[in-house]
Structure 1
Amino acid sequence: MNDRTMVGASVSMATLSLYEHTGRQLDRLCEAIGFDKIDKRPRELLRQLLGPGGARSLADPPLFPSNVADDTTPVEFSLAFDTTGECAIRVLGESIGTPTQRDFLDTVADEYHLDTTRLDTLGDLFLPDGERQGPFSLWYSLIFRAGRDPKIKLYLNPQISGPAMAAPLVSEGFRRLRIPGAFAPVIEHALPRREQDSFAFFALDLDRGPRSRVKVYVAHEAAECSDVERAAELVPGIDPLQIREFCAFLGGGKGPFRDRPLISSYSFIEGDRDHPSNYSLYFPIRSYVPDDGVALARVHAILAQYDFDGAKLDEAIAAISGRRLRDGVGLIPHVSLRLGEFGSGITVYLSSEAYRVMPARRRPVLGIPL
């Protein structure tokens, strides 16, 4: 059984375009979570986001290797469980074959009443003319909730002008967005280990309102659990035990986690000055399990810890993929724990696997016997 038939449905994936394949996955995912079938905006936004490259057949190699997913698919899904009882579906994506990465934003800005003011303020920093470095320039997140208008968020690359410029870019970004006092505390709590901690993403919500966020993400190479506990301390009221248990449930211990890095993020909203309102920890579970069967068992355990309905996750996985979980690793690439004053919960990320299923490992991971 090859990679394509493992993922596949009744129609051979080779006959589908990238958009047709990922659009069908999104339709099934929305249906599984109980969204109104009449609402066609999720699929239409996905089509617009992918751009002309979305029409390319999956039988052909991708136009370029996107870093959104391990198999170069420029789409990643996620299911967000909120402490309010709601579930959100998110799509992280990258435009393909468009003249500029802003084409999607310019196309949908008026229809969805997007506020691009902050991006315009930062454009020369994070989208400079000339040569750009790093794994990406501009990614988008589409956020869907039942009965509500979609929201859109974008991700910028702090290392776009090289790793050495990442901290100065973030500092200047905070200054221009009128939260200059945020930079020093972030450095103190999240980047104390010099070469092992680095800025990974700078993100902006594009909706208007007092809870429209500015987010900064920090990657922690070879981190111990204590390193991300320190990072979380910047947000008042977070219990370090939650961080410790999250790492233990998903990673089988307290580290060090030497494969893919753990990632911290801070969310700043209107009124925040030197302390963010929320902290999130992203755990790259695919690097610390032998296969997706083990990953799902661990994710079920952490969902149960927070009284979330694991059956919804099972339905979401069935909507995305038909393969056996033990036959690959990376269908569940990472899991995040969101803590703070608003938007707390757990998000489980799901790979489209449009181009490839990453092979399962048949060896111990972090010393855990198989």
Structure 2
Amino acid sequence: MTSLRSAPQVSASTTFSDYAVTTATRLLGSAGVDVDQGIRALRRMLSPWGARRIGTRPGWHSDVCADGSPIEFSAAFSREGLQVRALVEALPDRSDPSSAQKAARALTRGLTRDFGAADDRLAEVSDLFLPDEDPTGFAMMHAAALTPTGGPEFKVYLNPNANAGTSGIERTRAALDRLGFTKAWTAVREYAARGFDLDRIVYFGLDLTDGPESRVKVYFRHYDASPAELDARMEISLQHEAGFLGAFCRQLTGSDSEVRAQPLVSNLTFTAAGGDQPVSATLYVPLWLHSASDRTVRDRVSSVMRELGLPVGSYRTLLNQMARRPLSSGRGIHTYASARVQHGRPRLTTYWSPELYDRYPPARYQRG
């Protein structure tokens, strides 16, 4: 296991590519993933903006991490294997939404050209999520999933609230309709039974792959929701195991009540093979405001993984590759942990910020 002290240090003069490639090399090597293939994909995702210096504050406050960092690494653990992921938001030349759209489109074209990413479904809805008139917020985030077997698989996350001309509700419903999931809106509306103000649609996800298992995801941010209440609503999915996600949330936050400091996030996943019923539901528990330090989070995650029979040692090894400081001296590395039951088996993912700008990031996405 690599010690914490060997993790590369980062300064304002370090480039995004230097940080990301060095960190990914460590993560992929520890996970047994083809390093060369993974780094090739990551370099493409960072081109050309990765050549910029990180600086002392974000020029474009990215939606990727709580502190505005535009890069996030994560690892998914299951009994079948390990997957390492990288998420980025292509930084625009200028700090405005139109420039962000241009950068996002260019990255998508590059992934399609260089890696064969399938952008047909994205093309069907791009005018909805990348509007020409008065765009607001982020444009698109891109992720790559890397495993010990097979090549990288890409996905995108789109902004339902891309401008004020169309609501996130209307935009999401229209996108589902265009993609052949018209009846899936019934499940979305039922899931947000408290209303879309409290169960707010915040992301629309698409796999850049073809086939009946290619996923369409609708993400929600839940305000004033208890773990037990959300767990019960997740029974709408075909694979949900009652009580599992509620207990998962309680163990990670240390609370049975509404998660108020930072709202819970979830998604419903649809595939052509599954039809109009969600094939799975995933809960994302925010971690950085629910503990005193990343050491506490590490211990909580380790405890949950032991109970689930998941590889605690692998998680701790990868965390050590991420951390550039003692875990007790901040609480910004762990951003979220997610879980779902897949074919009767648990799958847990931990998400890590590079802390390029803040090791004690403030709350984000507060209601109103």
State the distance in 1 between where 2:199 and 2:165 align. Answer: 11
User: Aligned-pair distance for 1:286?
Assistant: 1.4
User: Aligned-pair distance for 1:171?
Assistant: 0.8
2:205 to 203, 219, 222: 203
State the distance in 1 between where 2:23 and 2:8 align. Answer: 13
Q: 1:345 to 1:333 in 2, by over 3 A?
A: same
Q: 1:232 to 1:46 in 2, by over 3 A?
A: same
State the distance in 2 between where 1:262 and 1:163 align. Answer: 27
Match of 2:111 in 1: 108
Tell me the SS of whatever aligns to 2:69: coil
Match of 1:21 in 2: 19
State the distance in 2 between where 1:305 and 1:56 align. Answer: 43
State the distance in 1 between where 2:166 and 2:92 align. Answer: 29
Opposite residue 87 of structure 2, the aligned amino acid is L
Opposite residue 15 of structure 2, the aligned amino acid is S
Match of 2:33 in 1: 35
Match of 2:83 in 1: 88
**Contact 2:240–2:280 at 8 Å: present in 1 too?**
no
**Contact 1:53–1:63 at 8 Å: present in 2 too?**
no
The alignment of Structure 1 onto Structure 2 pairs a total of residues equal to 352
**Contact 1:336–1:346 at 8 Å: present in 2 too?**
yes
State the distance in 1 between where 2:152 and 2:125 align. Answer: 24
State the distance in 2 between where 1:70 and 1:297 align. Answer: 21
**Contact 2:237–2:277 at 8 Å: present in 1 too?**
yes
User: Aligned-pair distance for 1:319?
Assistant: 0.8
1:105-143 CA distances to partner (integer Å, 9 max, x unpaired)? Answer: 101213322211111110111111122123x11001111
Q: 1:194 to 1:304 in 2, by over 3 A?
A: same
**Contact 1:81–1:87 at 8 Å: present in 2 too?**
yes
In the superposition, the TM-score normalised over structure 2's length comes to 0.89
Opposite residue 85 of structure 2, the aligned amino acid is R
State, as a whole percentage, how many aligned pairs show the same letter.
27
Match of 2:216 in 1: 214
4+ residue runs over 6 A deviation: none
Opposite residue 129 of structure 1, the aligned amino acid is D
2:133 to 109, 127, 130: 130
User: Aligned-pair distance for 1:272?
Assistant: 2.6
**Contact 2:270–2:276 at 8 Å: present in 1 too?**
no
User: Aligned-pair distance for 1:254?
Assistant: 2.1
1:50 to 34, 46, 53: 46
State the distance in 1 between where 2:174 and 2:84 align. Answer: 32
Structure 1 unaligned spans of 5+:
1-5, 362-370
Match of 1:366 in 2: none
Match of 1:67 in 2: 63
| Greater shift in the superposed pair: 169-178 or 111-120 | 111-120
State the distance in 1 between where 2:55 and 2:167 align. Answer: 39
- 1:134-213 map, 5 Å: 134=137, 136-162=138-164, 165-213=167-215
State the distance in 2 between where 1:202 and 1:10 align. Answer: 34
State the distance in 1 between where 2:55 and 2:202 align. Answer: 32
1:4-56 CA distances to partner (integer Å, 9 max, x unpaired)? Answer: xx9984655344211101211111011111223xx423223222222332112
State the distance in 2 between where 1:49 and 1:308 align. Answer: 30
User: Aligned-pair distance for 1:206?
Assistant: 0.5
User: Aligned-pair distance for 1:158?
Assistant: 0.8
Tell me the SS of whatever aligns to 2:123: helix
Q: 1:103 to 1:46 in 2, by over 3 A?
A: same
Q: 1:11 to 1:169 in 2, by over 3 A?
A: closer
User: Aligned-pair distance for 1:264?
Assistant: 1.3
